[in-house]
Amino acid sequence: MSDEPTHEAPPAGQDEVRIMMANSNRTIRRSMGAVAAVGALAVAGVGGYALAGSDGPTEGTRVATVATQEQTGGPQGVGVPGQGRQGEGPGRQEHGQHGQHGQHGQHGQRDQRDQPGQQGHGLEVPAPAGTLSAEEAETLSMMREEERLAHDLYVALGEAWPDRRFDNISAAEARHGEATATLLANHDLPDPSVGSTPGVYDYPELQELYDDWLERGLTSKSEALAVGAELERRDIADLEAAMAATEQPDLDAVYEHLRDGSEKHLAAFERG
């Protein structure tokens, strides 16, 4: 046995032990803090997706991946239906917006508004309930021509003075003429407007009115609008007189509809 002394490493001092333990504790705290942060991100981004305890780097990475994909609208995103949609990223918001825009109820409302008659654009002419007197038949024939006169005059004035009112009201007058033509057909009466020429009328009184109104209306746009208002006032008076002179429900219903339309036309022309 050698007499030489054995050189052994001295045991670690207490200061070194404390340093090692402190470093270890800091490492553990950093790991737990990272896991807690990832867990909070998952809860905020996923909506209730919590991390129970510290499962190590593997589980933490999985949760972070899920949260990131959910925020970007990725394929593995997990959401709670009806909640947190606006906070889940552009992908989710886009789907939500499309969902709102595609509601069938909204499309249904638009379709209803476009249907004829919803806003006064159409009239269901009632069936005749009796035979017309000679006076009622003559008045109806005159009304048919008055509506044609209004249409023809507004078309001519609209060509001279482009204005949406002339376009819209001339189209309305054409529909009014169709309503009176339907009444004539329902009562087996001839339609004086069949085969007619615009601006030409069998009734001398109407021909004189058309010629005078057209001549005045072509002088200026303001005069054309004044002519339109004058025509509508006359039309309203004639329709109210016709309503007072008949007891036929179909004539009364159509005349009332035309009178209401003429009042709207008058208001449009009077706006100047």
pLDDT given at position 123: 78
Q: ∠ CA(203), CA(174), CA(115), 5° rounding?
A: 155
Handedness of CA 263, 268, 269, 270 (dihedral sign): positive
User: Do the beta carbons of residue 266 and residue 236 sit within 8 Å?
Assistant: yes
Which positions ≥6 away from 58 have C-beta within 8 Å?
A: none
pLDDT in tens for each of the 272 residues of the chain? 444 444 444 454 455 545 455 555 554 455 454 444 434 433 344 343 333 334 444 443 333 333 334 333 444 433 333 343 344 344 433 333 333 333 333 333 333 333 333 333 467 899 999 999 999 999 999 999 999 999 999 999 999 999 999 999 999 999 999 999 999 999 999 999 999 999 999 999 999 999 999 999 999 999 999 999 999 999 999 999 999 999 999 999 999 999 999 999 999 999 97
Close Cβ partners of 161 (under 8 Å, ≥ 6 residues apart): 217, 221, 224
**pLDDT at 135 (0 to 100):** 98
- The domain 134-270 is placed in CATH, from the list 1.20.1260.10, 1.25.40.10, 1.10.357.10, 3.40.50.300, at 1.20.1260.10
SS3 (DSSP) at 145? helix
Q: Which residues, 6 or more positions from 119, have their beta carbon under 8 angstroms from its beta carbon?
A: 113
